Each structure stands twice: as C-alpha cells, then as structure tokens.
C-alpha cells in the first residue's frame, strides 16, 4: 500500500534532514494522475518542508531543492529521483508498485483498503457524536433536512471507518408552541384513523390547517396556549397525545431512513432535556452571566465589552425556554451521558450564528469541551420540485428519484433484466443525488436539476453505479479464475499503472476529508477512479486472454471494485450489482 512507499521515502528524507521518519511521513504526497502521463509516483514540496520548519525558510529555494535531492539516493525500491522547480519527484519500482498495491486484495472480501494507513493513524480517535437530519414533527421535511441527513451520514460513516466510536443522533423538533397548536387543532379536525393510515401526511395537514384557522380564530389560539401549558406542566392527557404524535413520526421516519440505508442510534429531541434547563440557568446565574432585559426576559450578554450590545435570550418573561436554551441543556447532558471527544452538528448555514452563540455560552459557563463541538454548515438548494409540486416529505424525494430513474432505465439500451427494478432505480437515483450534492464545497448554494444529476455519462452517481455493476459482472463471470496469486510483471501497461498510481492517493484523500469533513475529495477521487477503470476495461480484456494474464487483470479489477464499493458506502451510497 502507499504507506510502504511513503515510509521508504520519508526514511531517505529523514536521513538527509536528520529527523525521525515518522514526522516526515505526512509530507510525502502521491502525485495526481493526469493526462500528461507523469511517471513519478510521489512528490515532496520543499516549500511545505520549509513551512513546517524542516528546512530553513531563508535562502534560495531552488538551490535548497537541488541540495536535498542530491542527498537522497535511489535504490531497488525507489528507482528514480528527479527535481522540477521546488518539487522533488520519486518513482518507485514498477513491479513492487503493482505487488504492494494489490496485496490487500488476495481474498474476495471487503477490505479496509486505505483506512488503516499510517497517515490516518496519526488522527485522534475517540467517541464522536454526530447529530444530523433532525426534522420537525408535523412540519415539512425540506431540502435542508435532506442535505443534513446525507452529509451527517457521510461524516458518521467516515468517522466510524477511521476507528472512532460513533453515536448517530437525530434531534427532533418535538417541542415548542407549535405542539400546543397541533394538540388543540387535532381535537377539532384530526382523525385517529387518518393518523394511523398516513401519519406524516395527516399531522402536516392538521398543522397547516391549524395555522390558517389560527389567523382569524382567537379561540383556537387560546386553546393552543392552554394545550402547550398543559404539556409544559406534564398534564397526562396532553402528554399522551403528544407522545403518540412523536412515536408515530419516529416509526415512520425509521422506515424511510431504512430505504436510504441510514439508521440512528438515538432519537433525541428538543423535549428531552427540559429538566436540565433549570440547571443551566443556575450555572449561568452563579457565574454572573445572566441579565434581565427591558421586557423581563432572561438574557446572556455576548458583547465583548459587557455592555449588552449583543444579547441572547434564554427564557421569555413567562419563563418558557427557547431553541437555544434547549440546545444548551441538550449539549450539557449529552456530554455527561456520552463523554464524547467531539460533537458535530450538521445544519444549513443559516444556523451558523445559532451554533456560534451556543458554543460561546458553553465556553463562558466553563465547559472547556465546547471547543470540541463543531458546526458543519451547508448551503441552500433551490428548485427541488417533484412532478406533483413541492417537496414536503422525505418520501416524496425518494419516490421521485425512483420514478425518474425507472423511466431513464426503461429507455436505456444497456439496462439488464432486474429482479427488483424499483429498488435498483431508487439506489441508483439516490447515488446520483448524493454525488451531485457532494461534488462541490458544502457551503455553496446550488440549483437543483433532475435531468443533469441523472445523466448516465459524465461525472454523476449513475456513472459510479454503472462502473460498479460492470466490475461486479466481470468478477462474477470469471469466478472460476483463481486470483490469489498473480504475476505483477503482467500488469505493466499504462492503464494499469495509472489506476494503481491513483490508488496511492486514497489514504490522503480520506485524510483530507477527515480534516475538513468535506465529501468532495472522496467523490472526485471515486469519479476519477471510474474513468481510469473504464480505460483499463477497454485495453485490458480478461476474456480471451491467457490464463496468467487473465488472473493478473482480474486481480486488478477486483482491487478497483473493492475500493470503489468501500468508497461509495462511506459516502452513503448503496452499490448495486446490476443495472
């Protein structure tokens, strides 16, 4: 694997710089494969070495590069060392490259290729709590919730693959005045029967109607307030109805998440930590951080000069809590319960200020762990519509993805006979949606376009799935060929070497994603891999080749397929075997 070579090069560098090789491993990078056919595999940037204090940062950098390169000698493993401006390039022995890179794929099983590298071992491991999806009961599941769901799932998968203990948490919007309205309105126009038949739809309808009526019906507003009071006072009848709404919603969501291959370890929510609100308020009080505002609300002063020029309200004058108050209480009790080493919140960027304030207040309360809390913000998506109109439920998106993909598949000449075309269409369609969503920086807004994302050519999720299915069928068709042994000399064609050179970068890509939690590195790596697989597929046929050539080529494709499916799963894409 790439670690083998990186260590060899770091050792040479270490001797030249009189430094231990371990600290130098991260400075050795694999070269990106390009059309220019660079034969080198690794590079060292002398300016990076200078920036990291391994070389004096004064003096002529080109001269420094030349000097350093001349102190490193080639051997049987690293066959060539060359210089280009401020870069030193290394080419490793070709036979060894093939052998080392394909070593992990001796058995036909899922391998953790890339994930157990020395580079990734330098990352801290511990308990990571990832909070994502977090829809609001009775309200719309909008595109923001969809993005939070898939991005959070990716982060949780990645952290888990890197060896962390991951807690996947869904934090439902299950408290607040809207439940007063919902409860009061349900008495008037709700139906238990409809609630059982189509829970999310019915709750949403009741809620929408309630909001409309409340505009001109003071009686309903009063009933809503009284219902919410009853809830806050834990009045059993009100609480039972609320609990029913919540249970039924969770159950429904669980089955929809399942279609996406997503699960949560914990369904928490805003209602859960109300008991801790008092405790938080007392802590703030005792630290002298609480102030009373002009209208009688309890506020925290966030201004740098302590002049109340920037405040955050925590309790209304009637003593009820707000969104941020509940988040404070939730953070404190999560830390107590899970002892997490880091906590990651995934929501759209409109909530960035909210999380900044949350972390600031936690820190001013003396919770030093607030520095291990992080908000991962993402941009807005415009124009996601279904054929029947607006997206209201997560299910709408899935149904639309499925219908459109099924349509495309029925028109495509390459579509195979499938046992369950709906299921395949949904998985391929979701792959398309996720790939599009993950290609750019998460913070960017984008305009949604069904036709563009569902294209089978170009850099789409359909292309990822298509490549995976093709490899799967190639491997299936040649099951009788034993690939446990192979001759690396038979994989020296440019197409094969380029693919293996690309795989050298895999752990670096995962490392980058682990650093900034952006899925774009992995998505673009896999798309490029698929292009390299397509080229290799064209020029390295298995069928009709001599036995030993077929063996070697299959081993190569097996490795590619294993990395591709592992990478897709990390992204939250369910690979299909046939399409």
3-state secondary structure of 325: helix
- List the one residue out of 64, 61, 62, 54 whose CA is nearest residue 17: 54
Out of 139, 194, 349, 578, which one is annotated catalytic? 139
Q: What is the DSSP letter of 239?
A: H
CA-to-CA distance for 283 and 367, rounded, in angstroms? 11
Instruction: Find the shortest distance in angstroms from Cβ 519 to ligand ARG.
Output: 19
CA distances from 562 to 5, 490, 504, 551, 571 (A): 21, 20, 15, 16, 14
Residue 578, by phi and psi: left (phi above 0), alpha (psi -120 to 50) or beta? beta
Q: How far is the CB of 326 from ligand ARG (least distance, A)?
A: 8
Nearer to ligand ARG by Cβ, of 171 and 438: the residue is 171
Which conformational region is residue 249 in: left (phi greater than 0), alpha (psi within -120 to 50 degrees), or beta?
Answer: alpha
CA distances 319 to 204, 312, 325, Å, are 28, 15, 11
The verdict on whether 468 is a catalytic residue reads no
Cβ-based nearer residue to ligand ARG, 188 or 354: 354
State in angstroms the smallest separation of the CB of 570 from ligand ARG.
23
Minimum CB separation of residue 299 from ligand ARG in Å reads 19
Out of 100, 140, 145, 472, pick the active-site residue.
Answer: 145
Q: Active-site residue 558, yes or no?
A: no
Burial class (CB in 10 A: 0-12, 13-18, 19+), 333: middle
Q: Which is nearer to ligand ARG, 100 or 375 (CB)?
A: 375
Provide the minimum distance between the beta carbon of 433 and ligand ARG in the complex, in angstroms, as a whole number: 20
Binding site for ligand ARG (CB under 6 A): 131, 134, 136, 171, 173, 327, 345, 347
* CA distance to 176, 198, 262, 388, 561, per residue, from 247 (Å): 17, 13, 18, 28, 41
Residue 127 Cβ vs ligand ARG, minimum distance, rounded to whole Å = 18
Please identify, using beta-carbon distances, which residue of 141 and 466 lies nearer to ligand ARG: 141
State the minimum distance, in angstroms, from the CB of residue 139 to ligand ARG.
Answer: 8
List the one residue out of 478, 464, 500, 494 whose CA is nearest residue 576: 464
Cβ closer to ligand ARG: 335 or 558?
335
Q: How far is the CB of 360 from ligand ARG (least distance, A)?
A: 15
What DSSP string describes 84-117?
ETTEEEEEE-HHHHHHHHHGGGSSSS---TTTT-
For ligand ARG, the closer CB: 267 or 557: 267
The answer to whether 180 touches 238, Cβ cutoff 8 Å, is no
- Of residues 349 and 578, the one with the C-beta less far from ligand ARG: 349
Pick from 250, 165, 141, 161: nearest CA to 199? 250
Q: Can 521 be counted among the known catalytic residues?
A: no
DSSP-derived 3-state class of residue 343: strand
Select 143 or 471, whichever has its Cβ closest to ligand ARG. 143
What the block records as the tokens of 48 is: 């990076």
CB of 361: closest distance to ligand ARG in angstroms? 13
- Based on CB atoms, which residue is closest to ligand ARG, 329 or 499? 329
How many whole angstroms separate alpha carbon 53 and alpha carbon 322? 49
**Which CB sits closer to ligand ARG, 375 or 470?**
375
For residue 62, give the 3-state DSSP assignment.
Answer: helix
> Closest approach of Cβ 176 to ligand ARG, in Å?
10
Could you give the strand order of the β-sheet that contains 42-45, starting from the edge strand earlier in sequence?
Answer: 28-30, 42-45, 87-92, 78-84
**Burial class for 124, CB neighbours closer than 10 Å (0-12, 13-18, 19+):** exposed
Range 294-309 burial, b when 16+ CB lie within 10 A, else e: eeebbbbbbeeeeeee
Is the Cβ of residue 131 or residue 426 nearer to ligand ARG in the bound state? 131
Pick the catalytic residue from 100, 142, 472, 537. 142
On whether the CB atoms of residues 31 and 89 are closer than 8 A, the answer is yes
| Token pair recorded at residue 51 | 């920036």
b/e per residue 13-48 (b: at least 16 CB within 10 A): bbebbeeebeebbbbbbbbebeeeebebbbbbbbeb
Task: Output the CA angle 155-254-236, nearest 5 degrees.
Answer: 115
Q: Whats the size of the chain, residue-wise? A: 579
**Least Å from the CB of residue 327 to ligand ARG:** 5
Which positions are catalytic? Answer: 139, 142, 145
């Amino acid at each position: 694997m790439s670690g083998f070579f990186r260590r060899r090069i770091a050792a040479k560098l270490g001797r030249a710089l009189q430094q231990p090789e371990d600290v130098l491993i991260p400075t050795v990078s694999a070269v990106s494969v390009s059309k220019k056919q660079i034969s080198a595999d690794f590079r060292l940037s002398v300016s990076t070495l200078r920036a990291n204090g391994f070389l004096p940062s004064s003096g002529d950098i080109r001269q420094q590069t030349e000097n350093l390169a001349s102190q490193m000698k080639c051997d049987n493993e690293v066959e060539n060392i060359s210089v280009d401006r401020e870069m030193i390039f290394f080419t490793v022995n070709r036979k060894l490259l093939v052998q080392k890179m394909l070593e992990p794929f001796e058995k036909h099983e899922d391998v953790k290729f890339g994930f157990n590298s020395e580079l990734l071992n330098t990352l801290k491991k511990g308990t990571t709590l990832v909070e994502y999806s977090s829809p609001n009961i009775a309200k719309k599941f909008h595109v923001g919730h969809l993005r939070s769901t898939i991005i959070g799932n990716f982060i949780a998968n990645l952290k888990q693959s890197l060896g962390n203990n991951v807690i996947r948490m869904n934090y439902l919007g299950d408290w607040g005045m809207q439940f007063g309205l919902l409860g009061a309105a349900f008495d008037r126009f709700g139906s238990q029967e409809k609630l059982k038949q189509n829970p999310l739809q019915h709750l949403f309808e009741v809620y929408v109607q309630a909001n409309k009526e409340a505009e001109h019906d003071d009686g309903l507003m009063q009933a809503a307030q009284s219902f919410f009071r009853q809830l806050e006072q834990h009045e059993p009848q009100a609480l039972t109805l609320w609990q029913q709404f919540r249970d039924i919603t969770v159950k429904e969501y669980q089955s929809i998440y399942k279609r996406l291959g997503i699960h949560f370890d914990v369904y928490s929510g805003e209602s859960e930590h109300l008991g801790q609100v008092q405790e938080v308020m007392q802590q703030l009080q005792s630290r002298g951080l609480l102030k009373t505002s002009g209208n009688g609300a309890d506020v925290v002063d966030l201004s740098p000069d302590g002049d109340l020029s920037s405040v955050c309200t925590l309790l209304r004058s009637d003593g009820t809590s707000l969104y941020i108050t509940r988040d404070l209480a939730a953070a404190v009790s999560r830390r107590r319960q899970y002892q997490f080493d880091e906590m990651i919140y995934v929501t759209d960027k409109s909530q960035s200020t909210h999380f900044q304030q949350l972390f600031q207040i936690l820190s001013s309360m003396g919770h030093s762990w607030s520095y291990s809390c992080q908000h991962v913000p993402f941009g807005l998506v415009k124009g996601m519509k279904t054929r029947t109109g607006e997206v209201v439920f997560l299910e709408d998106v899935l149904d639309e993805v499925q219908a459109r993909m099924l349509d495309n598949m029925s028109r495509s000449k390459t579509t195979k006979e499938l046992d369950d075309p709906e299921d395949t269409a949904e998985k391929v369609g979701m792959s398309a949606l996720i790939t599009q969503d993950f290609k750019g920086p998460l913070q960017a807004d984008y305009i949604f376009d069904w036709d563009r994302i569902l294209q089978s050519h170009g850099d789409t999720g359909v292309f990822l799935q298509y490549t995976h299915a093709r490899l799967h069928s190639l491997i299936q068709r040649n099951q009788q060929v034993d690939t446990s042994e192979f001759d690396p000399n038979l994989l020296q064609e440019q197409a094969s070497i380029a693919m293996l050179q690309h795989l050298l970068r895999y752990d670096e890509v995962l490392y980058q994603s682990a650093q900034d939690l952006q899925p774009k590195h992995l998505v673009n790596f896999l798309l490029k891999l698929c292009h390299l697989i397509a080229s290799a597929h064209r020029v390295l046929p298995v069928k009709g080749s001599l036995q030993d050539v077929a063996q070697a080529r299959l081993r190569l494709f097996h490795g590619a397929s294993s990395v591709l499916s592992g990478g897709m799963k990390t992204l939250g894409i369910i690979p299909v075997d046939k399409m």
